[in-house]
Amino acid sequence: MHLTNSTDTCHLSPTTNNRQNQSFFLLLNCSKKKDMMEKSLKKPDFLGEGIDRISNLPDDILHNILSYLYMFDVVKLSMLSKRWNYIWKTMPYLNFDINHFGFERIRRRHSHWVMAEKFKECIDWVLISQSANNLVCFKLCCGGMFDEGDIYRWIRGATTRNVQELVLSFRLAEPFELSCCFVTCESLRVLRLTLHGSILKLPNHFGFNQLKLLHLVEVELSNETSCLFSACPVLQKLILRNCSFGTTTMLDIASNSLVYVAVRNYVNNGKSYSECNIKISCPNLKVLKYRAPKAKDIILENLFSIEVVQIYFFDLGDATEEVGMLVHTMIKNVRSTSALKLCIYSILGLHKVLREVRNSPVTFYRLKSLNLTVRIDEVCMRVMMLLLKCSPNLEVLDLFSVENYGWDENWMLHDPNETIVCLESHLKSIKLNDFKHEENEMELLRFSLKNARVLEKLTIVWDGCADISEEASEEVSMFPRASSDVVVTFLDFDPN
């Protein structure tokens, strides 16, 4: 066994928020590359200093670089020359954000409402002056300072120019209805919509014939929202982030085209979820990520192509038998998955119904990667060992250790008379995160090295609050091991 220690290095990179600096470096880099190409293909040019090589870059390169800027800053470039005036008028990327509108001294001088009026005039003027007929992306972030008429007018200005991606963020006092210009836009491929809690209403007719990605953020979904998912014939990716259900009692996600579904909610919407059933029936779905409060019921059907499943519940308080039976039913319906990730509440819930789970076992023949958040105690280890027994072809085990409790000194992690197939022939990598050098963790490491016969990597990542000591690595290096090829690595805590 080889024992190594390594530390993470920090790489500095420009922040995405500093758009002006990012665009400047992109322009400079492209100019240098173009200059080098010219030198390699042509004779040396001794015309002297002051040549504007940036302006001579192709239109599409300049447009792509300027897409990192807000439209207010792009328009200012038109004063440089006729060339730059042409560039901004043909820009296929339009990005309007009221939070980054105007000079700082102007924003301090005028009230929010005056700035909002100037912002509105700016968008109207740009849409009138622009000559780009095929927009790649139209971004609009305008808070709650504009009425429905303004919003629809700007969206119509984008959809009539064959926009491919719409990124919208605003708040209305009334429910927002997807207008006809939305659903009939044949060029639209991506729709990212943030409503800050407003209700989303659907039109009487559907379209979205080319929509492939739908990302809804802070949207209150209605009972009719389910129709939207099934009405998009080529929709591949659906993300619901921090959405609430209002009076909705059933969210039905049924689609033959969806390959990726993510339900994420990190805000306090527990009551909204507890009164709503979620049903997912997508025969071509490959990835399912559920990271939200527990719904009243989660029904998984016809997931014949599933490959990645993540189940993370928030705001549960105590894990109950109800949680355990729900998780057990869910994982039974995704038995063909190759990667499974479960939270601490799922593990504790499964332990509440451990007898039922053992009486109705499910075998994950295709499971290659198992990711668990656990306590290194008797309760969670019982569930983990059962999952290992049910995963004969498992190759990767990734554990996140939370607060640990003790176990009975007479209790063993594993009955030596029972065979765990993956430990005998398949498990190659084990990673223990948030290591605290506690007795239970050391016992788990001892067990892993002693029983995993084809183990190649054992990675131990220190907890951010733990006192790192060489004693732990020295002690682990003395543990007996079944695999002579295993490499044990201790890593410092990485906050990223």
pLDDT of residue 145: 86
The CA distance from 212 to 272, in Å, is 28
pLDDT of residue 352: 93
CA 149 to chain centre: 33
pTM of this structure: 0.84
Distance (Å) of CA 23 to CA 27, 95, 292, 417? 6, 14, 37, 64
pLDDT of residue 38: 46
Of residues 344, 358, 356, 345, the one with CA closest to residue 387: 358
pLDDT of residue 242: 94
Of the pLDDT bands very low, low, confident and very high (cuts 50, 70, 90), residue 205 is confident
Tell me what the mean pLDDT of segment 114-138 comes to: 91
The more confident residue out of 60 and 46 is 60
- pLDDT at residue 283 is higher than 90: yes
pLDDT of residue 369: 98
Of residues 156, 240, 230, the one with CA closest to residue 195: 240
Question: Residue 140: helix, strand or coil by DSSP?
Answer: strand
Residues whose CB is less than 8 angstroms from the CB of residue 198 and which lie 6 or more positions away in sequence, other chains included = 171, 172, 174, 175, 176, 219, 220
Tell me what the mean pLDDT of segment 68-83 comes to: 86
- Structure tokens given for 53: 């090589």
Across all residues in the chain, what is the average pLDDT? Answer: 86
Identity of the amino acid at 280? I
Of residues 4, 15, 156, 137, the one with CA closest to residue 70: 137
pLDDT of residue 426: 97
- Structure tokens given for 130: 């622009």
**Range name among 31-45, 283-297, 301-315, 358-372 with the lowest pLDDT average:** 31-45
Percent of the chain with pLDDT over 90: 58
pLDDT of residue 404: 66
Tell me what the mean pLDDT of segment 9-14 comes to: 38
pLDDT of residue 47: 40
Q: List, for residues 266-276, the tens digit of each pLDDT value.
A: 876 677 888 89
Phi, psi dihedral angles at 285 (to 5 degrees): -70, 130
pLDDT of residue 20: 47
Phi, psi dihedral angles at 24 (to 5 degrees): -60, -45
Cβ(341)–Cβ(310) below 8 Å: yes
Choose from 183-187, 340-344, 465-469 the range with maximum mean pLDDT: 340-344
